[in-house]
Structures are given as C-alpha cells and as structure tokens.
Structure 1
C-alpha cells in the first residue's frame, strides 16, 4: 500500500475495498462449507433416528409375538381369552412386556376389551400385537382428533334424542290433559267398556 500512497489516495481506497471483499468472500465460502456439512449430518441423523425407531418398533412387536406364542403353547389354542391374559399378568410373563411399552396392567378386563377389536371375546395374534402397539406410548394427535369428532357426534345424537323425548313428553301431557278434561260416561252395567 505504501507505493500506492505515492500514486493516489483513490488507489489506496480501492486496495482496501478489494482486501475487505476478499476476506468476506473467503469467510462466506468457509461458512457455506460448514453449514452444508451440518445439514448433511442432520439429515443423516434423522435417517438414523427413524431407523432406530423402526427397529425398536419391530423389537417390541417381536416381544409381543413371542409372549403371545408362549401363552398359546401352554393353552394349546391360537386365541386367548381374558382369563389367559389375567393368568399371564399374574405370573409376570405379560406384565413386564406391557409395562415396558407403557401399557398399564391394573385393569386386565378393560385392557382385553380394548385389544379385542372385533368383540368376539377372544383375541388372535394379529389383534394382540396391533392392539398393544396402538395402546403403546402417548396419545397421538390423530387419535385425539378422532376422539373429539366421536364426542361431537355422540353429543349431537344425545341432543337430538333429548329433543325427541321432550316432544314425546309434550304430546303425552297433551293427551293426558285431553282425557282428564272430558268426562267419562258409563255404559250399561252388562258391558265392561267405558267410552270417552
């Protein structure tokens, strides 16, 4: 820069602007490389996390399947009843697996009715595994939305039913008031019928 000072101050200013722009350009390239590397690692982490979640889900399903098969070997059937589930919970075969999934085994009959989707009174392997996996973990937004929708439908049906009951009650009151307002006349003694 010292020789440029002899030429002019405009040359010195141009040199300073060039150096500043070069430094910012190099910093921008280095920052871009770091950001790109971080984005690639984050996407790889997401893939690894989804693979771990899928692997954990498969392990849980296999554990449920092995418990179901073990209970079936003792019973000699391909379907379980509520008594079988209660017996398995009492000897801690099923209890530990369900507790690891976050499913409470305090009320076995309610648990069985939630798993028994077809209401047959017996559950097969597919019902058992899919029912337990649906009960696993916290409620999902889709399940909450479905429950809210069903509650709205039930409330609307109850409201309609209540209005029908009130309408029926009004009609019955009107019929009763008409019958009590009109005197009853008796017919001859040989007939047991009375007319209004």
Structure 2
C-alpha cells in the first residue's frame, strides 16, 4: 500500500501536503472530465432545439398555407395564430404572438404581402 510506504519513510508533515496535492489533482481532473461531458450534452440539447424549431416552423407554414400554393399571406397566418403548433413555434423562438405581424413583415423581403 502506498500510504504504508510513505508513512514509514516520511514524516506526517511531509506526507500530508503530498496527499492534499494528490486529492486536489484528482478533483481537478474529474472536474475537467465532468465539464467536457456537460458541454457535449449542452451542445446536443442546442442541436435538438434547433431541429425542433425548424420542424415547428415547417409545420406552421404548411398549416398557414391554406390554399396549398406555397405562399402565405398575413390573413392566412393571422387566422392560424391560435393553433397550438403556431403557439409552440412562437414560444420556441421567443416571439410573442402580438409580434407576429412584425415577423411576417420581416420574412416578406419583397414587400408583396407573401412569404
């Protein structure tokens, strides 16, 4: 056993700081390993949230395109604002439902009233 060898050749006041050093080093190494694990988990969660937002955005725009022509007008989107998928999308991107008109105008880059 290492402590038996150390105690027979070293005084307590020499061995104690050495053992504290070993304990601190082990703690630091475990802390780094835990940090790497948590960072990987957080990155995975961010990726999943991005996929969730994209999936919900696609559902929102497919739902709002009532005519199936690939374009959405403000009245199309406005009448779907109470739909649960639309609310979930707006919650996921941290936009209030009251700001939906501003989002529509932002997405309507050509200014023709269609997105």
> Normalising TM by the smaller chain, what interval?
0.7 to 0.9
In 2, Cα distance between equivalents of 1:90 and 1:35 = 51
Please give the TM-score of this superposition, normalised by the length of structure 1: 0.47
Residue 65 of structure 1: how far off its partner (Å):
0.7
In 2, Cα distance between equivalents of 1:31 and 1:107 = 52
Which residue matches 1:71?
64
Residue 109 of structure 1: how far off its partner (Å):
3.1
> Are residue 35 (structure 1) and residue 25 (structure 2) matched?
no
Which residue matches 1:46?
39
Residue 24 of structure 1: how far off its partner (Å):
1.0
If asked which structure has higher relative contact order (CA below 8 Å, sep 6+), I would say: 2
Which residue matches 1:82?
74
> Are residue 122 (structure 1) and residue 114 (structure 2) matched?
yes
Distance verdict in 2 for CA 1:119–1:69, change over 3 Å: same
Say which one has the larger Rg. 1
1:98, 1:104 within 8 Å by CA — same for their partners in 2? yes
Q: Count the aligned residue pairs.
A: 107
Which residue matches 1:140?
none
Distance verdict in 2 for CA 1:107–1:59, change over 3 Å: closer
2:57, 2:89 within 8 Å by CA — same for their partners in 1? yes
Deviates more, 1:35-44 or 1:98-107: 98-107
